[in-house]
Amino acid sequence: MLNIKNYSSYHDLSLEAAQYIYGKIKPQIRDTGTYNLGLATGNSPKEMYTHLLRLLSVSHLDLSNFHTFNLDEFYPVLQTEDRSFFQEMFHEFWQPLYDGNQTFNFAHGHILNGEKNDIEECTRYEKLIKELGRIDLQILGLGPNGHIGFNEPDSEVTSRTRKITIAKSSKIALEKTYGTIPEFGITMGIGTILEAREIVLIATGKSKKEVFQKLIKLEKPTPEIPASFLLNHPNTSVHTDLI
């Protein structure tokens, strides 16, 4: 069952979600010194990241063992290309985080590399997540067709990090933000995502409303809506302004 938190505006959603996530990070960093945060790209979490970065900047936490893991990346794509998720995260998360708290290590901002052999890169990423002890909290956005990461409809619940073909509807939506994009992506699988200790799904935007209404009415998962596999996760909260 999904724990749904509804807000009256995108601003309120973003602020409250940031405070919620920070409330998870702060005590664990103080207790253990480590935290593994899973990140999503796109418009849904943008304002939330702004608030979260502000909180992390004024916290005086030691972030030397704070790691981030991005869900996905276009494939193939150079990390120097403006359309890459690497560039988006560098400018919108890692650099601002370092500017506010210089204990953060840029080498701990992890993302799939769209320049590498896809099979070897996906294997490396899975291994790295396991070596660092799983993801503590994974942030997700909701796609207009119910995708999470690049896990399109009919993805299997057991799927691992892999190369996929981006669905036509997803490609059209993404190109409004990123311009022309590759045919493929590399993404954490549904199975990989579900291994996170906690998941926060941010559902916002008019284009997501129809699939979100279907999602919250489901009693069990269906491959037609990949986000519905979150029903199998014991610790998932949904932050939305769509109700």
Q: Which of 70, 101, 113, 145 is catalytic?
A: 145
Report which of 11, 15, 6, 68 is spatially closest to residue 38, judged by C-alpha positions: 68
Residue 195 burial by Cβ neighbours in a 10 Å radius (0-12, 13-18, 19+):
middle
Which residue among the candidates 47, 72, 88, 118 is catalytic per the annotation? 72
72 an active-site residue?
yes
136 catalytic residue (yes or no): no
Q: Is 73 helix (H, G, I), strand (E, B) or coil?
A: strand
Of 147, 233, 239, 241, the active-site residue reads 147
Annotation marks residue 88 as catalytic: no
DSSP codes of every residue in 176-227: HHHSS--SEEEE--HHHHHTSSEEEEEE-SGGGHHHHHHHHH-SS-BTTBGG
CA 36 to chain centroid: 12
- Residue among 88, 118, 136, 152 flagged as catalytic: 152
Active site residue 145: yes
Q: Which residues are catalytic?
A: 72, 145, 147, 152
